[in-house]
Amino acid sequence: MIILIGNVFALSHPLKNTIMKTLLLVATLFMSTALFAQEETQERVLDIQISAQGTSITALVTEDNNENVLKLDSKKDGKLFMVYSNAKNEPTLTRKYFLLNSKDEEIPIFFTGRIIGNLSAPLKDLFSKTKVGETYRLFTIATPTDPKEAATVKVRKFLLTKIQMH
């Protein structure tokens, strides 16, 4: 690029202006593309993949995802999987996932996982605690691991998906 710019100065004035404008345009496009890709990547790491019975949903953990609906068939077995790629970047937070019924009562789900950010729960356990035909809501909250800091922070729950039992 430096050699190219050095050779441009040896050219005539109108051609030099055209080449310099083109180089400036290319550099601007390159920088804007790099910034856009960086913003998109940062936003993408805040999402969580939720999947069960061959269906997968992506939800952001920083806002409510009212449009997401996961339909589960109580006659099929399997696991509810959640993969949160940003979990390793939250060492000072404890993230909790929970299910609420239409009366805002919490339905306990026991997630297991050996890898940070990868959790699963047996659907058999979930079906034993829910009713067919009902819709439940899966939420997440993140609280500081430090108890003193956790006592001073207001925690907001975020809706990841609605789960319909069939």
DSSP secondary structure letter of residue 65: -
3-class DSSP assignment, residue 72? strand
pLDDT, tens digit, 9 for 90 and up, residues 33-49: 655 554 444 444 578 99
CA 40/CA 6 separation, integer angstroms: 36
Q: What is the mean pLDDT of residues 79-108?
A: 91
* Half-sphere exposure of residue 125: CA atoms within 13 angstroms, side-chain side: 12
pLDDT, tens digit, 9 for 90 and up, residues 17-32: 777 767 666 666 666 5
In angstroms, what CA-CA distances link 116 with 94, 95, 103?
11, 11, 32
- Domain identity same for 150 and 75: yes
- Domain identity same for 107 and 130: yes
What mean pLDDT, rounded, does the chain reach?
A: 82
CA 25/CA 20 separation, integer angstroms: 9
pLDDT at 43: 45
- Domain identity same for 73 and 138: yes
- Domain identity same for 31 and 98: no
Q: Do 61 and 142 touch, CB atoms closer than 8 A?
A: yes
DSSP secondary structure letter of residue 63: S
